[in-house]
Structure 1
Amino acid sequence: MNFTYPKSEKLKSKKTIDLLFSEGKSVSKFPLRLVYIESDYGIATDSEQKIKMGVSVSKKYFKHAVDRNYFKRVLRETYRLNKHLLTENLDKPYAFMFFYQTKERLTYQEIETKTIQLFEKFLVQIKKEE
Protein backbone atom coordinates (compact mmCIF):
# COMPACT_ATOMS: atom_id res chain seq x y z
CA MET A 1 0.00 0.00 0.00
CA ASN A 2 1.36 3.36 -1.03
CA PHE A 3 0.91 6.08 1.62
CA THR A 4 2.04 9.05 -0.44
CA TYR A 5 0.53 12.30 -1.60
CA PRO A 6 2.45 13.03 -4.83
CA LYS A 7 2.27 16.24 -6.79
CA SER A 8 0.29 14.46 -9.52
CA GLU A 9 -2.50 13.85 -7.00
CA LYS A 10 -2.86 17.48 -5.94
CA LEU A 11 -5.78 19.44 -7.29
CA LYS A 12 -4.38 22.50 -9.03
CA SER A 13 -6.50 22.99 -12.12
CA LYS A 14 -8.49 26.23 -11.87
CA LYS A 15 -11.05 24.82 -14.30
CA THR A 16 -11.64 21.74 -12.15
CA ILE A 17 -11.83 23.78 -8.94
CA ASP A 18 -14.42 26.09 -10.53
CA LEU A 19 -16.40 23.03 -11.65
CA LEU A 20 -16.27 21.63 -8.11
CA PHE A 21 -17.85 24.77 -6.70
CA SER A 22 -20.45 25.18 -9.43
CA GLU A 23 -21.52 21.57 -10.10
CA GLY A 24 -19.93 19.51 -7.35
CA LYS A 25 -21.87 17.40 -4.88
CA SER A 26 -20.92 17.23 -1.24
CA VAL A 27 -20.96 14.95 1.73
CA SER A 28 -20.37 16.09 5.32
CA LYS A 29 -19.34 14.67 8.63
CA PHE A 30 -19.12 17.63 10.97
CA PRO A 31 -16.73 19.49 10.94
CA LEU A 32 -15.39 18.06 7.67
CA ARG A 33 -16.91 18.42 4.24
CA LEU A 34 -15.94 16.72 1.00
CA VAL A 35 -17.02 18.31 -2.28
CA TYR A 36 -16.55 15.99 -5.23
CA ILE A 37 -17.10 15.72 -8.94
CA GLU A 38 -16.45 12.93 -11.37
CA SER A 39 -13.52 14.04 -13.48
CA ASP A 40 -12.46 13.21 -17.00
CA TYR A 41 -8.68 13.18 -16.67
CA GLY A 42 -6.65 11.17 -19.10
CA ILE A 43 -5.75 8.93 -16.23
CA ALA A 44 -3.15 6.22 -16.27
CA THR A 45 -3.88 2.76 -14.93
CA ASP A 46 -2.31 3.59 -11.55
CA SER A 47 -4.91 3.40 -8.80
CA GLU A 48 -3.33 6.50 -7.23
CA GLN A 49 -4.22 8.57 -10.28
CA LYS A 50 -7.95 8.12 -9.75
CA ILE A 51 -8.01 11.04 -7.35
CA LYS A 52 -7.18 14.73 -7.40
CA MET A 53 -7.43 16.22 -3.91
CA GLY A 54 -7.29 19.75 -2.56
CA VAL A 55 -7.69 21.00 1.01
CA SER A 56 -9.10 24.22 2.39
CA VAL A 57 -9.51 25.88 5.77
CA SER A 58 -11.62 29.00 6.08
CA LYS A 59 -10.09 32.37 6.87
CA LYS A 60 -13.42 33.18 8.54
CA TYR A 61 -12.70 30.69 11.34
CA PHE A 62 -8.91 30.94 11.56
CA LYS A 63 -7.62 34.47 11.06
CA HIS A 64 -3.95 33.56 11.38
CA ALA A 65 -2.23 31.77 8.51
CA VAL A 66 -0.30 29.66 11.00
CA ASP A 67 -3.53 28.11 12.26
CA ARG A 68 -4.96 27.56 8.77
CA ASN A 69 -1.72 25.94 7.63
CA TYR A 70 -1.71 23.63 10.65
CA PHE A 71 -5.20 22.32 9.88
CA LYS A 72 -4.38 21.99 6.17
CA ARG A 73 -1.37 19.86 7.09
CA VAL A 74 -3.54 17.72 9.36
CA LEU A 75 -6.16 17.26 6.62
CA ARG A 76 -3.51 16.28 4.08
CA GLU A 77 -1.99 13.81 6.51
CA THR A 78 -5.31 12.16 7.40
CA TYR A 79 -6.10 11.93 3.69
CA ARG A 80 -2.68 10.46 2.90
CA LEU A 81 -3.02 7.74 5.53
CA ASN A 82 -6.63 6.84 4.68
CA LYS A 83 -6.84 7.36 0.92
CA HIS A 84 -6.68 3.59 0.41
CA LEU A 85 -10.36 3.56 1.49
CA LEU A 86 -11.11 5.61 -1.64
CA THR A 87 -8.64 4.19 -4.15
CA GLU A 88 -9.66 0.58 -3.49
CA ASN A 89 -13.37 1.31 -3.99
CA LEU A 90 -13.49 3.82 -6.85
CA ASP A 91 -13.87 2.80 -10.48
CA LYS A 92 -13.91 6.28 -12.02
CA PRO A 93 -11.59 9.24 -11.46
CA TYR A 94 -12.79 11.94 -9.05
CA ALA A 95 -11.69 15.41 -8.02
CA PHE A 96 -12.16 16.32 -4.34
CA MET A 97 -11.96 19.41 -2.19
CA PHE A 98 -11.62 18.68 1.51
CA PHE A 99 -12.82 21.39 3.96
CA TYR A 100 -12.41 21.96 7.68
CA GLN A 101 -15.45 24.01 8.73
CA THR A 102 -15.53 24.99 12.38
CA LYS A 103 -13.84 27.24 14.90
CA GLU A 104 -13.27 24.25 17.18
CA ARG A 105 -9.72 23.03 17.37
CA LEU A 106 -10.10 19.28 17.18
CA THR A 107 -7.19 16.97 17.94
CA TYR A 108 -5.47 14.99 15.22
CA GLN A 109 -7.14 11.76 16.40
CA GLU A 110 -10.61 13.31 16.27
CA ILE A 111 -9.99 14.65 12.77
CA GLU A 112 -8.69 11.29 11.61
CA THR A 113 -11.75 9.39 12.87
CA LYS A 114 -14.04 11.98 11.23
CA THR A 115 -12.07 11.63 7.98
CA ILE A 116 -12.55 7.86 7.96
CA GLN A 117 -16.28 8.27 8.65
CA LEU A 118 -16.52 10.89 5.89
CA PHE A 119 -14.80 8.65 3.33
CA GLU A 120 -17.12 5.77 4.24
CA LYS A 121 -20.16 8.04 3.93
CA PHE A 122 -18.89 9.22 0.52
CA LEU A 123 -18.52 5.63 -0.71
CA VAL A 124 -22.08 4.81 0.40
CA GLN A 125 -23.38 7.89 -1.46
CA ILE A 126 -21.46 6.95 -4.62
CA LYS A 127 -22.97 3.44 -4.54
CA LYS A 128 -26.48 4.98 -4.28
CA GLU A 129 -25.87 7.21 -7.31
CA GLU A 130 -24.81 4.33 -9.56
Structure 2
Amino acid sequence: MEQSYKKIEKLKSQKLIEKLFSDGKSVVAYPLRLVYLKTVFEDAVPVKAGVSVSKRNFKKAVHRNRIKRLLREAYRLNKSAYFNNITAQYALMILYIGKSESDYKTISKKMNTLLDAFITKETLPKP
Protein backbone atom coordinates (compact mmCIF):
# COMPACT_ATOMS: atom_id res chain seq x y z
CA MET A 1 0.00 0.00 0.00
CA GLU A 2 1.46 3.33 -1.01
CA GLN A 3 1.69 6.43 1.14
CA SER A 4 -1.10 8.44 -0.39
CA TYR A 5 -4.65 9.24 0.63
CA LYS A 6 -6.57 9.11 -2.65
CA LYS A 7 -10.18 10.04 -3.22
CA ILE A 8 -11.18 6.37 -3.50
CA GLU A 9 -9.87 5.76 0.06
CA LYS A 10 -11.92 8.57 1.62
CA LEU A 11 -15.10 7.75 3.51
CA LYS A 12 -17.83 9.88 1.94
CA SER A 13 -21.03 7.80 1.92
CA GLN A 14 -23.57 9.34 4.29
CA LYS A 15 -25.37 5.99 4.70
CA LEU A 16 -22.13 4.23 5.59
CA ILE A 17 -21.15 6.96 8.05
CA GLU A 18 -24.54 6.69 9.79
CA LYS A 19 -24.21 2.90 9.93
CA LEU A 20 -20.67 3.29 11.23
CA PHE A 21 -21.79 5.40 14.18
CA SER A 22 -24.83 3.24 14.97
CA ASP A 23 -23.26 -0.23 14.63
CA GLY A 24 -19.52 0.39 14.78
CA LYS A 25 -17.01 -0.42 17.50
CA SER A 26 -14.44 2.01 18.81
CA VAL A 27 -10.91 2.27 20.16
CA VAL A 28 -9.53 5.27 22.08
CA ALA A 29 -6.03 6.69 22.42
CA TYR A 30 -6.71 10.14 23.88
CA PRO A 31 -7.07 12.65 22.18
CA LEU A 32 -8.06 10.37 19.27
CA ARG A 33 -10.95 7.95 18.90
CA LEU A 34 -11.35 5.45 16.08
CA VAL A 35 -14.80 4.15 15.16
CA TYR A 36 -14.68 1.21 12.78
CA LEU A 37 -16.99 -1.21 11.04
CA LYS A 38 -16.23 -4.30 8.98
CA THR A 39 -17.97 -3.86 5.65
CA VAL A 40 -17.79 -4.63 1.94
CA PHE A 41 -16.97 -2.01 -0.69
CA GLU A 42 -17.51 -2.21 -4.42
CA ASP A 43 -14.01 -0.75 -4.80
CA ALA A 44 -10.93 -2.88 -4.20
CA VAL A 45 -9.71 -0.80 -1.27
CA PRO A 46 -9.12 -2.46 2.11
CA VAL A 47 -9.91 0.65 4.18
CA LYS A 48 -11.92 3.82 3.70
CA ALA A 49 -11.24 6.47 6.31
CA GLY A 50 -12.53 9.87 7.31
CA VAL A 51 -11.56 12.42 9.94
CA SER A 52 -13.68 14.69 12.09
CA VAL A 53 -13.17 17.43 14.65
CA SER A 54 -15.95 18.68 16.90
CA LYS A 55 -17.29 22.17 16.31
CA ARG A 56 -18.23 22.29 19.98
CA ASN A 57 -14.58 22.12 21.08
CA PHE A 58 -13.09 24.23 18.27
CA LYS A 59 -15.32 27.13 17.30
CA LYS A 60 -13.06 28.52 14.59
CA ALA A 61 -12.85 26.63 11.30
CA VAL A 62 -9.15 27.49 11.03
CA HIS A 63 -8.37 25.39 14.11
CA ARG A 64 -10.64 22.50 13.06
CA ASN A 65 -9.12 22.40 9.58
CA ARG A 66 -5.56 22.40 10.94
CA ILE A 67 -6.30 19.45 13.21
CA LYS A 68 -7.99 17.60 10.34
CA ARG A 69 -4.94 18.19 8.13
CA LEU A 70 -2.68 16.82 10.86
CA LEU A 71 -4.93 13.78 11.35
CA ARG A 72 -5.00 13.00 7.63
CA GLU A 73 -1.23 13.36 7.35
CA ALA A 74 -0.57 11.10 10.36
CA TYR A 75 -3.00 8.52 8.93
CA ARG A 76 -1.47 8.74 5.44
CA LEU A 77 2.06 8.14 6.68
CA ASN A 78 1.15 5.28 9.02
CA LYS A 79 -1.54 3.37 7.11
CA SER A 80 0.79 1.30 4.94
CA ALA A 81 2.45 -0.21 8.02
CA TYR A 82 -0.89 -1.38 9.42
CA PHE A 83 -3.14 -2.18 6.46
CA ASN A 84 -0.81 -3.97 3.99
CA ASN A 85 -1.71 -7.46 5.18
CA ILE A 86 -5.36 -6.89 6.08
CA THR A 87 -7.85 -9.20 4.38
CA ALA A 88 -11.22 -7.73 5.37
CA GLN A 89 -12.54 -4.31 4.38
CA TYR A 90 -13.18 -1.65 7.02
CA ALA A 91 -14.76 1.78 7.24
CA LEU A 92 -12.92 4.00 9.72
CA MET A 93 -13.70 7.39 11.22
CA ILE A 94 -10.96 9.10 13.20
CA LEU A 95 -12.31 11.63 15.68
CA TYR A 96 -10.33 14.24 17.58
CA ILE A 97 -11.90 14.31 21.05
CA GLY A 98 -9.36 16.56 22.81
CA LYS A 99 -10.27 20.01 24.10
CA SER A 100 -7.06 21.76 23.03
CA GLU A 101 -4.88 21.67 19.93
CA SER A 102 -1.95 19.27 19.72
CA ASP A 103 1.18 19.38 17.64
CA TYR A 104 1.93 16.93 14.82
CA LYS A 105 4.39 14.88 16.87
CA THR A 106 1.77 14.10 19.52
CA ILE A 107 -0.94 13.33 16.96
CA SER A 108 1.37 11.02 15.01
CA LYS A 109 2.37 9.12 18.15
CA LYS A 110 -1.27 8.74 19.21
CA MET A 111 -2.24 7.67 15.68
CA ASN A 112 0.29 4.82 15.92
CA THR A 113 -1.13 3.82 19.31
CA LEU A 114 -4.67 3.99 17.94
CA LEU A 115 -3.92 1.88 14.86
CA ASP A 116 -2.01 -0.64 17.02
CA ALA A 117 -5.04 -0.98 19.28
CA PHE A 118 -7.34 -1.39 16.27
CA ILE A 119 -5.18 -4.13 14.71
CA THR A 120 -4.79 -6.06 17.97
CA LYS A 121 -8.51 -5.79 18.77
CA GLU A 122 -9.50 -7.04 15.31
CA THR A 123 -6.96 -9.85 15.00
CA LEU A 124 -7.52 -11.42 18.41
CA PRO A 125 -9.67 -14.55 18.20
CA LYS A 126 -13.21 -14.11 19.46
CA PRO A 127 -13.99 -16.26 22.56
Is this a same-fold pair by TM over 0.5? yes
Residue of structure 2 in register with 1:63 after alignment: 59
Q: One-letter code of the match for 1:32?
A: L
TM-score under structure 1 length normalisation:
0.92
Q: 2:46 aligns with which of 43, 46, 50?
A: 50
Residue of structure 1 in register with 2:107 after alignment: 111
Encode CA deviations 1:7-35: one digit per residue, 9 max, x unaligned: 00000011100101100000000010000
5+ long unaligned stretches in structure 2: none
Task: Measure, in 2, the Cα distance between the counterparts of 1:108 and 1:52.
Answer: 22
Change (3 A) 1:62 1:21: same
Identity %: 46
1:80 aligns with 2:76: yes
5+ long unaligned stretches in structure 1: none
Q: One-letter code of the match for 2:113?
A: Q
Task: Measure, in 1, the Cα distance between the counterparts of 2:38 and 2:125.
Answer: 12
Secondary structure, counterpart of 2:41 in structure 1: coil
Residue 86 of structure 1: CA displacement?
A: 2.6
Task: Measure, in 1, the Cα distance between the counterparts of 2:2 and 2:41.
Answer: 21
- Give the RMSD, CA atoms, in angstroms: 1.2
Change (3 A) 1:104 1:129: farther
TM-score under structure 2 length normalisation:
0.94
Question: How many matched pairs?
Answer: 126
